[in-house]
Each structure stands twice: as C-alpha cells, then as structure tokens.
C-alpha cells in the first residue's frame, strides 16, 4: 500500500504511514493528489479558545469575554504567521472580529443608554423648571 502523502510503501495491514504518519485508510476528499500537505497539521489551541470566547461574548453576561477573545485571536494569528503549519487562522480571525464586534456593540449600547439617561434627566428637569416658573407666575 502506497501512502497518498509521501508515496512511501507500507504494509497492507497498516492504517498509518510509517514514514509521515498520515492516514492510509481515511479518505480525505478535500486533499487533491499532488498537492503537498504538511505531515502534521496542528490547529492552534488559542484560535479555538478565541473563537469560542468571541461567540460567547455576544451573550450579555459574558461581554467581558470579548477582551480575551481579541487578545487570544491576535496572539494566535501571530503564532500562525510565524508557523505556517499551524491551522486555525479562520478561527482566530473569527474570534478577533467576533470579540471586537461584541465589544463595539456593547460600548455603543452603553453610550446610547447614557445619552438616553442624560436626555431624560435634562427633559424632566426642564419640565420641572417650567412647572415651577408656571407656579411662580400664578
Ligand atoms: Zn507517508
């Protein structure tokens, strides 16, 4: 049995290549023959954590997760940049963007809330002032 990855010959019974360790039995339709792939594609753990935190941070009780999601996403992208064999670029980007979006959304909500609160206070005090001046006139 020949390895699809490195063309090394292996015993018929073996399910993994002796030379490169890739699976001999498992079909991988996304891998085109002749396209070289790394012997061990590893997903950066930080990328996974970042993506999960990025998704979770959209839930109101977990807004704080957006900050570690952004940090881990950035760190993971840096890892992947240095080590091209590492996978999880998409996940790290998702975590980074998701975390940033959640943070921006919640900051906007806080600003809107503050503006609303200030406007309401101003309006109600203006009303009470005019009510008082009305009382003074009569
Ligand atoms: Zn092989």
73-120 per-position pLDDT tens digit: 999 999 999 988 889 999 999 999 999 999 999 999 999 999 999 988
Say how many Å lie between the CA of residue 4 and the centre of ligand 1. Answer: 7
Say how many Å lie between the CA of residue 37 and the centre of ligand 1. Answer: 11
Say how many Å lie between the CA of residue 16 and the centre of ligand 1. Answer: 8
Say how many Å lie between the CA of residue 9 and the centre of ligand 1. Answer: 8
Say how many Å lie between the CA of residue 135 and the centre of ligand 1. Answer: 93
pTM of the model: 0.55
Model confidence at 34: pLDDT above 60: no
Model confidence at 37: pLDDT above 80: no
Nearest in space to 54 (alpha carbons), one of 87, 101, 107: 101
- 24: pLDDT confidence band, cut at 50, 70 and 90? confident
CA–CA dist 83, 64 (Å, integer): 29
């Amino acid at each position: 049995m020949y390895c699809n990855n490195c063309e090394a010959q292996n015993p018929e019974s073996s399910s993994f290549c002796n030379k490169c360790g890739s699976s001999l039995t498992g079909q991988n339709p996304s891998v085109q023959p002749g396209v070289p792939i790394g012997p061990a594609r590893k997903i950066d753990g930080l990328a996974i954590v970042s993506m999960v935190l990025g998704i979770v941070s959209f839930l109101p009780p977990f807004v704080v997760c957006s900050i570690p999601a952004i940090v881990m996403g950035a760190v993971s992208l840096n890892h992947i940049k240095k080590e091209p064999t590492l996978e999880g670029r998409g996940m790290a980007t998702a975590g980074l963007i998701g975390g940033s979006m959640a943070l921006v959304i919640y900051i906007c909500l806080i600003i809107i809330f503050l503006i609303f609160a200030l406007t309401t206070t101003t309006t109600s005090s203006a009303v009470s002032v005019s009510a008082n001046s009305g009382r003074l006139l009569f």
